[in-house]
Amino acid sequence: MRRGMMTGLALVLAACTGQTAETTTTTTAPTTTTTTVVETTTTTRPPDCPPPPYEFGSLPTTVQPNQVPADNLSLDAFTTVPGSSSTIWVGRDGDLAMALVRGALPPEQWPGERGEVDIDGARGVAGPFEDGTWVVAWFEEPGARCDQYTLVFYPPIDPSEVEATIESIDRTAG
């Protein structure tokens, strides 16, 4: 009650003296809080696929018959898929000539025409890529990652040799 009388007295004094009461407005900025969320992603490498279970009765004339380890070769988008297993052949010049990859299909769709082929009873497709490689892709049942295969022929390669090589492929017990 005393406070109400003091306020009334201040108003009366202001009215009598001709002064007006001053009003002070104070604005305070709203408080904001910033929270940073850090996400951690862990990528695990898939287990390596076993070597491809195929034998070749015929190889292109540009391909040396012995398979080579990939350690000293410049690999590419076909042969560097994590967890895949690559069987690699080189040409007379020591460069990649042919690769059979187990555990991956081609890293891109065919840019041009492709045809259907038979790989020892499995249905596949084959055709040229724009860079001159010929690519064959197929999978076996049940179609898990290690049931996917890509066979790459690096230029220069004659399409008739690609066909003869495909026809000579036999699945082994592996």
Which pLDDT score, from 0 to 100, does residue 157 have? Answer: 95
Domain ranges in the chain are 54-171
Using CA atoms, how far residue 168 sits from 29, 99, 111, 152, 173, in Å, is 79, 15, 26, 15, 16
Which pLDDT score, from 0 to 100, does residue 39 have? Answer: 74
Q: What's the pLDDT tens digit per position in 15-68?
A: 444 554 565 666 666 666 666 677 767 778 889 999 999 999 999 999 999 999
Whether pLDDT at 7 is above 70? no
End-to-end CA distance of the chain: 99
Give the model's confidence band at 1: pLDDT under 50 very low, under 70 low, under 90 confident, else very high.
Answer: very low
Selection from 53, 84, 54 nearest residue 70 by Cα: 84
Give the model's confidence band at 154: pLDDT under 50 very low, under 70 low, under 90 confident, else very high.
Answer: very high
Q: How many CB atoms lie within 10 A of CB 120?
A: 17
Which pLDDT score, from 0 to 100, does residue 74 have? Answer: 85
Contacts of 161 (CB under 8 A, 6+ apart): 60, 61, 62, 153
Which pLDDT score, from 0 to 100, does residue 27 have? Answer: 63
Q: What's the pLDDT tens digit per position in 74-102?
A: 889 999 999 999 999 999 998 999 999 99
Q: What's the pLDDT tens digit per position in 115-139?
A: 999 999 999 999 999 999 999 999 9
Whether pLDDT at 103 is above 90? yes
Amino acid at 115: G
Which pLDDT score, from 0 to 100, does residue 85 have? Answer: 92
pTM for the whole structure: 0.73
Whether pLDDT at 148 is above 50? yes
